[in-house]
Amino acid sequence: MRAFRILGLLVILSLALSACAAAPAPAAQAPAAQAPAAEQPAAAEAAAPATSGELKVAVLAPLSGPVPTFGVMTRDGALLAIEEWNAKGGVLGMKIVPIVEDSQCTPDPAVNAANKVIDQDKVHYIIGEVCSKASIPVSEIANAKKVVEISPTSTNPVYTLDKDGKAKQYVFRACFNDNFQGKIAANFALNNLKAKTAFVLLDQANDYVKGLAEVFTADFTAGGGTIVGTESYTAQDTDFSAILAKVADANPEVVYLPDYYNIVNLVTKQAKEKGITAPFLGADGWDSSDLDLKAAAGGYFTNHYSPEDPRPEVQNFVKTFRETYNNATPDALATLAYDATNLLLEGIKAAGVDDSTAVATALTEITFNGVSGQIHFDANHDPVKPLTILKVTDDGVKFDSVVNP
């Protein structure tokens, strides 16, 4: 009996706590949702049957687990896009209702979350998961159940591919494929930085980092450079002095560190303190307002866009994001989640019906102007979009060059 009382107490407690928590969230309850449907483009109006219902979109993000910050950023990026669409009258005349689920960046909770949104909430569209190790099992389910899934950030090649190497019909990603980004980084190191020797630091357990490091190593060697050392660490490390001592000893001309900003901050700071002068080269994971500019100064990274880019998509996104979320600057995860959501909704609009098969087909055909440039999907459901190279300086991240695919 006592157990039931506790359970009851917990339910009440959870309701109370969440009610407080939900209040400041700038989510679906935004008043803008009731904007007149007349603002909608006429073409979509004609194509869509005038059903003013709800369209559910699930957002699977690791809100707990090892990387809650990635989850929160992804969720915020996705919700911002949904809010903007709702302000414009939704999609196909329907209000978009986001369903956020915590997937913990771990296979089982991600699978549970996916099953829950598909079977209980009957969604046909999923944005997420963030980590490849969670989005791969989700993609199997989504593809089998004909649910369109766009992962903002899962770079593992097998995420969009089935066992025979063919693209899964309903599964897409919004981030660069490792091949493109790693290759550009290798070329940049060889041609622009004139480096002959490179050191690669990687996290063995992280798909994203490992994939980029492998591509970089292959392309840098193929281009005539030498990899003087490869060292790995784990995501929870804070002390990099042991491997940095080895970097200092090998004295490379460039260090490739394609990890997220939290690792980059620690590594570059400790490297500076250890007298390592070689520039660091990284990937889109560096993109964050939390990147330690002083530590990373002198480094370069490949990214989706430059904050200085005058295109309205970029400027509007950064501005709205700041306004909506207490001045937080979007990082790569928020940007990609925003783009992924916009891509999805654009696909639904282009398909003209709330039907996942039609939307999946539409997605392969559309060309979309997102924050990260003009995007379309290739045969493997990887996005084709330009890549920007940015330089980190003491007073900000500066545009260096742009590379088209």
Partner 1 sequence: MPTVNRPGARLAWIGQAFLLGLALLVLVILGRALAANPILFLQQVLNGLQLGFVYALIALGYTMVYGIVKLINFAHGDVFMVGAFVSYFAVARFRLSEWPAAAFPGMPGWLVLLLGSLTVILLSMTICAILAVTIERVAYKPLRDAPRIAALITAIGVSFFLEYFGALGFVFSPRFIPYERMFNVTTWTVGAGGIHRLVSGQAVPDNAITISNIFVIILLASILMQTLLQFLVRRTKIGKAMRASSFDKPTARLMGINVDGVISFTFAVGAAFAGLAGVLFAIAYPSITSQMGILPGLKAFIAAVLGGIGSIPGALVGALIMGQAEALTAGYISTPMRDAVAFTILIVVFLVRPRGIFGEPEGEKA
Partner 2 sequence: MNFVYLATSALKIVALLAYLYALLWVLGRKQLWAKIVGVVAAFGVVQLAMTPIGGLRIFNDFDSGLLYQACTMSMVAMGLNLIYGFNGQFSLGQWGFYGVGAYAAADITYRWVDGDARGLLVAGIGVALGGLMILGVNRFVNRFKGMPVLSQFTLYLLGAILAGWVAVVIGNALNPLLAPLLEEGGPLAGYIPQQIVFFLAVVIAGVFTAELSFLFGLPVLTLGSDYFGIATLGFAIIVYTLMNNSDTILPFPEMKGGRGMIGIPQYTTWFWAFLFLLVVIVVMRNLIYSSTGRAIMAVREDETAAKAMGINVAQNKLLAFVIGSLFAGLGGAIYAHYIGFLSPGAFTFLLGFNPMIIVVFGGLGSMTGTLTASFGWIFFLEGLLRVILSQLGTDAPTWRFVLYPIALLLLMLLKPAGLLGNVEWGFFKKPVFVRVRGAGGVAPAPAGAAGEGGQP
Which H or E run contains 171? strand 171-173
**Nearer Cβ to partner 2 (259/313):** 259
Q: Side-chain half-sphere of 265: how many Cα atoms within 13 Å?
A: 12
In three-state secondary structure terms, 122 is coil
Task: Candidates 37-45, 46-54, 155-163, 221-229: pick the segment binding partner 2 (CB under 8 A).
Answer: 155-163
Q: Is 105 in the site for partner 2 (CB under 8 A)?
A: yes
Q: Is 141 in the site for partner 2 (CB under 8 A)?
A: yes
**Nearer Cβ to partner 2 (80/351):** 80
Nearest to residue 189, comparing CAs of 164, 225, 162? 225
Q: Is 206 in the site for partner 2 (CB under 8 A)?
A: yes
Q: According to CB under 8 A, which one of 84, 149, 178, 207 is a site residue for partner 2?
A: 207
45 is written with which tokens? 């109006």
Between CA 137 and CA 162 the distance in angstroms is 11
Min dist. Cβ of residue 320 to partner 2 (A): 17
Sign, CA dihedral 157-338-15-114, equals negative
Q: Is 21 in the site for partner 1 (CB under 8 A)?
A: yes
Q: What are the residue ranges of helices labelled H in 274-311?
A: 293-296
**Nearer Cβ to partner 2 (115/192):** 115
Q: According to CB under 8 A, which one of 31, 38, 46, 120 is a site residue for partner 2?
A: 120
Min dist. Cβ of residue 139 to partner 1 (A): 25
Q: According to CB under 8 A, which one of 52, 241, 316, 367 is a site residue for partner 1?
A: 241
* Contacts of 71 by beta carbon, 8 Å cutoff, 6+ apart: 61, 62, 63, 64, 65, 102, 103, 105, 130
- State how far Cα 31 lies from the chain centre: 27
Burial class (CB in 10 A: 0-12, 13-18, 19+), 298: middle
40 is written with which tokens? 């909608």
* 194-233 residues near partner 1, rule: CB under 8 A: 204-205, 231-233
Min dist. Cβ of residue 391 to partner 2 (A): 31
Between CA 277 and CA 287 the distance in angstroms is 22
Min dist. Cβ of residue 122 to partner 1 (A): 29
The residue behind tokens 């803008």 is: 32
Q: Is 269 in the site for partner 1 (CB under 8 A)?
A: yes
Residue 309's binding partner out of partner 1, partner 2, none, with CB under 5 to 8 Å set by partner kind: none
Q: What are the residue ranges of helices labelled H in 236-331?
A: 241-250, 261-273, 293-296, 312-324
Q: Is 19 in the site for partner 2 (CB under 8 A)?
A: yes
Q: Is 68 in the site for partner 1 (CB under 8 A)?
A: yes
Q: Is 369 in the site for partner 2 (CB under 8 A)?
A: no
Q: According to CB under 8 A, which one of 5, 31, 238, 395 is a site residue for partner 1?
A: 238
* Residue 386 to residues 216, 302, 403, 405, Cα–Cα distance (Å): 18, 10, 6, 6
Q: According to CB under 8 A, which one of 35, 87, 99, 358 is a site residue for partner 2?
A: 99
* 52-91 residues near partner 2, rule: CB under 8 A: 59, 63-64, 66, 68, 72, 75, 79
Q: Under rule CB under 8 A, how many of the chain's residues touch partner 1?
A: 39
Between CA 140 and CA 134 the distance in angstroms is 11
Q: Is 14 in the site for partner 1 (CB under 8 A)?
A: no
Where along the sequence are the contacts to partner 2 (CB under 8 A)?
Answer: 2-3, 6, 9-11, 13-15, 17-19, 21-22, 24-25, 27-29, 59, 63-64, 66, 68, 72, 75, 79, 98-102, 105-109, 111-113, 115-116, 118-121, 131-134, 136-137, 140-141, 145, 156, 158, 163, 203-207, 210, 234
